[in-house]
Structure 1
């Protein structure tokens, strides 16, 4: 009998699902709570004075640990758990997901003509223990005019993405240069992800 070669993905992101499918990693979703009555399992609040890399690393580790705990509480089959979190950083300012049109427009205005960082932290919790890594990429935006910004922000794209844009969507036309990992900018750096999953016992060709 062949041993199972499957993980749990503790993320709602459709981009992360697509990327795992791309490299042939089988997974089931293991979703954490993010709504009342008991509130979210992991809050994504930046702590006072917390640096962006420390923030994204901490949140990701909390997600992986909580998902591992939930797997046992729900009496699910034990498998490695993968969690991830992405943040966009301009200077030392963390840009999260815009709540509304006004916030999305403000974010695109800040990113216009600038180079910013995209930090994606991944964590794998398994029977072998836990391991994590943060991947950093640089993204440069061309100078955008108000018409371009408004047209993009009136679409559905900005509102579930850190920084208010997705590189794999229509915002690709704004991006003049990237340095780093394209999949990391999307939300899951595949090279680093495969490394951590191999360490957790997942066979990846």
Structure 2
């Protein structure tokens, strides 16, 4: 099996990739996460995921570089990671009682061939109405400050989620079903690996 390199500093993505049962090495990409041009959400996350994968690929002689990028979208407004507690509160106020979308771009580059696959996943998430006190107390925990959309579906933010349509793992930051299908295009089948090891 080709070695797998996860181009991410996110402990959540490492935790999710571990669920596939495949061995991998984390390599933190050194990239700017912003883009100059205005892009639709699916193109934005694909562009950023590919940028991360390309940043790591030159340091790999053989294997698959896997990268991802996630954004939350409310009424066509992209909500990335909040800059501070005020912005986190504003984002949660927007999401309160509303449905929003979570997009994650996934990029896989094979070395040394340079072959690549770039795709994305979209999930719809519905928040229950939140009170100002709930928002303030949640922001005070610090959990929202490094999360797209200012919440963690796998953490305390789960108590705000009334429903999810689509891939839950996408909301956490790595759509596992989509990634597994992409890996199979490169001859890496998680089920086959687990059965043989």
> TM-score, structure 1 length as denominator?
0.88
Residue in 2 that maps onto 1:22: 19
Residue in 2 that maps onto 1:39: none
Instruction: Give the paired residue count.
Output: 189
Residue in 1 that maps onto 2:29: 32
Q: 1:204 aligns with which of 171, 174, 190?
A: 190
Root mean square deviation of aligned Cα: 1.3
Is this contact kept in 2: 1:30–1:71, CA < 8 A?
A: no
1:140 aligns to 2:129 (yes or no) = no
**Structure 1, gaps ≥5 residues long:** 34-41, 73-77
1:183 aligns to 2:161 (yes or no) = no
**Structure 2, gaps ≥5 residues long:** 192-197
Q: 1:110 aligns with which of 91, 94, 114?
A: 94
CA distance in 1, matches of 2:65, 2:47: 16
1:64 aligns to 2:53 (yes or no) = yes
Is this contact kept in 2: 1:124–1:200, CA < 8 A?
A: no
Is this contact kept in 1: 2:81–2:145, CA < 8 A?
A: yes
Residue in 2 that maps onto 1:164: 150
CA deviation map 1:50-75 (0-9, x unaligned) = 22221111111111122112325xxx
- Structure 1 residue 151, shift from structure 2 partner: 0.6
CA distance in 1, matches of 2:189, 2:161: 35
> TM-score, structure 2 length as denominator?
0.91
Is this contact kept in 1: 2:29–2:53, CA < 8 A?
A: no
Secondary structure at the counterpart of residue 116 of structure 1: strand
- Structure 1 residue 5, shift from structure 2 partner: 4.7
CA distance in 2, matches of 1:153, 1:139: 19
CA deviation map 1:97-151 (0-9, x unaligned) = 0121111111101110110000001010004500011000000001100110011
- Structure 1 residue 21, shift from structure 2 partner: 1.1
CA deviation map 1:179-203 (0-9, x unaligned) = 0000011100001111111212323
